[in-house]
A and B are shown apart, each in its own frame.
Chain A
Amino acid sequence: MEPIRKHEGLVFPLNRANVDTDQIIPKQFLKRISRQGFGQFVFYNWRFDSKGELREDFSLNQPKYEGTSILVAGENFGCGSSREHAPWALQDYGFRVIIAPSYADIFYNNCTKNGILPVKLTEEQVQTLIKNAEADQYNLTVDLEEKKVYDNQGFEASFDLDAYKREMLLNGWDEIAVTLTHEDKITQFEKARG
């Protein structure tokens, strides 16, 4: 996967809690057998009406968010289905960083396996970012090495990410290759159990 160290980008605010992966990518788009091309379907039922026309009431469709790469959302982002098509779709659409107060476990893991950085900030910090990005075009810098998020107007926040996931993301490692360095231990384990 592509490493991520420091990213600056335009923020898209999604002020909703419990956004489930069925919303991030609806099931009718899960039938493809490749990892590519899911971006066009991201938030499909919110972005398009039943005739396939863009819905103006969904803010991602507004020109001011064109080119966004940082998604800021409410609690429990990515709950529900384990479908990795959700991070694939977000990434293919252009998102490299997600910021939320909390995530569903499987979605969180899936992000880190695909070079998407899931940042946890407090509810209060997230609400500040959402207000800024709703008001105007708003850019943030996310620095994974320093574990900091900041803008050029004085907002700065630190975040935590476990050391292992951080290392994987910073280096873009193939996790299977890392695991196979312990292959002797796996074999030993299998032998011991018979």
Chain B
Amino acid sequence: MRKPKTIVEKIWEKHMVHQEAGKPDLLYIDLHLVHEVTSPQAFEGLRMNNRKVRQPDRTFATMDHNVPTIHRNVIKDEVSKTQMETLKANCDEFGVPLADIHHPDQGIVHVIGPELGLTQPGKTIVCGDSHTSTHGAFGALAFGIGTSEVEHVLATQTIWQQKPKTLNVKVNGKLGTGVTAKDLILAIIGKYGVRFGTGYVLEYTGEAIRDLSMEGRMTVCNMSIEAGARAGLISPDDTTVEFLRGKRHVPDGEAFDKLAEEWKDLATDEGAVYDEQVEIDANEIEPQVTWGTNPGMCIPVSANVPTPEDVQTDNDKDELKRALEYMGLEGGEPISSVAIEHVFIGSCTNSRLADLRKASEIIKGQKVNPSVTAIVVPGSHSVKTQAEKEGIDILFKEAGFEWRDAGCSMCLAMNDDVVPEGERCASTSNRNFEGRQGTGARTHLVSPEMAAAAAIKGHFVDVRHLGVATPS
């Protein structure tokens, strides 16, 4: 009998190009996703050294980080425009396929990879973007890299990597009604902190993970990096296979069925050994809201904001005080009493069709609170078009939301979608760092349903007590 292996071990072995003592392993990269912000210096490096892109067909580029989400034909910001034009010129020069701002495949890089079927189980996937961990939802080994590594992968289609340790995050039981994948991952980071995953690949297992849709799995894997892990993944199963069936970059017919069997064989074997394991109970998780300046500063919606007395060491007290001060909170107040001025539904964490559908159920027939400005930014052009076919845009617009074009938008506010200084935003994105959504802006991370509910009420509210049907 063969030795039981984790999915990480199986993928690692299949991609090993070179191994020698005292060095990391040289791994082959199946798919390299590229965007406009972290690639210009990499292409410049190739040019300076007279190097080519080794495998243009394993490389795919799009524009997402600083694209405007309104008035697309006139880009006012000259510097952003230059960055987009540079990507276009680089892709032309090096023969890399590109979905530019006007292309029907354009969207957030971590939304379009899966949508096009480029993301597949067993692949090694990199991108100059920390949220590349998203693709792990498919049982791919996917991680973010810096620009020097982008250049390295462009030139060699490989990367030097120390074999990571594995950490099994086992989620037992079932999530309650109105409790989402976003609440689950926030609760995990809230419990174990923003560095528990450093040096590990997280594999999410257990009943609650198996029950998640692919969209939910992407939300969970997306935020692995916020727990310190470069990669998080979920073993492929029938849910994975059915999501990919019929996608553009996967085969069809018998070839697909054969591939599907290979994918399912990648799943971690019974009895495989992880380096570490944590276990949590999905039944106990409530809808979550972050109160502070990193994703681990997170509490259930029914709880009060913590105070310095709640932590032990001087350094922890300092960190907590700084976070309260930045967030304009006293400490001790119920998080549900905190009024918001902005709502952002979007980002590579929560901008897929399923996210928009669920949020639209909450706001259907209601009005955005007069004190709130609310925007919906679909994750891709394709998500936007599909949502419009279903009339979801009409529901949002009638409620008073702005309905925008696809991009990263207010998640990092590189374009004009900025939260003003001192104002507060309920956001479905992934980072509540200082200044993330604008200098002095205050971010509270929540699920799409919780963001929609906050838009209507003008403050945080437990989506389960709204009296509206909350699809699970």
Contact = CB atoms under 8 A, between A and B. Distances in A.
B315 interface: yes
Given A30-B414, A114-B148, A35 B41 contact: yes
B83 interface: yes
Nearest to B421: A50
B357 interface: no
B118 interface: no
A75 B316 CA distance: 11
A109 B24 CA distance: 12
Contacts of A102: 195, 198
Interface in B178-195: 194-195
Interface in B120-151: 128-130, 144-149, 151
Given A79-B195, A81-B130, A176 B156 contact: yes
A130 to B, nearest CB: 10
A153 B322 CA distance: 33
Interface stretch (B207-215, B333-341, B428-436): B428-436
A110 B24 CA distance: 15
Indicate the size class of the contact surface on chain A.
35 or more
Contacts of B226: 80
B435 A105 contact: no
A157 interface: no
Chain A interface secondary structure, helix, strand, loop or mixed? loop
A32 B412 contact: no
Contact of A105 (B49, B155, B158, B199): B199
B68 interface: no
Interface in A159-174: 162-164, 174
Interface stretch (B15-23, B363-371, B457-465): B15-23
B347 interface: no
Nearest to B128: A82
Interface residues of B, number: 64
A162 B156 CA distance: 23
B160 A164 contact: yes
Nearest to B132: A82
B304 interface: no
A26 B51 CA distance: 31
A190 B130 CA distance: 27
A190 B54 CA distance: 11
B38 interface: yes
B230 A16 contact: no
A87 B439 CA distance: 21
Contact of A164 (B17, B23, B156, B319): B23
Given A18-B294, A45-B439, A182 B434 contact: no
Contacts of A152: none
A179 B156 contact: yes
A35 B128 CA distance: 15
Interface string A51-81: 0000000000000000000000011100111
Interface in A100-116: 102, 104-106, 109-110, 113-114
Contacts of A175: 148, 152, 160
B106 interface: no
Given A23-B435, A179-B26, A18 B194 contact: yes
A23 B147 CA distance: 19
A105 B66 CA distance: 25
B239 interface: no
The 7 A-B pairs with the shortest beta carbon distances in the complex, nearest first, are: A113-B148, A33-B40, A110-B146, A84-B146, A84-B147, A82-B144, A82-B130
Given A18-B294, A185-B26, 13 more contacts: A23-B434, A31-B414, A34-B44, A50-B439, A76-B195, A76-B228, A79-B294, A82-B144, A83-B37, A87-B146, A164-B23, A185-B17, A189-B17
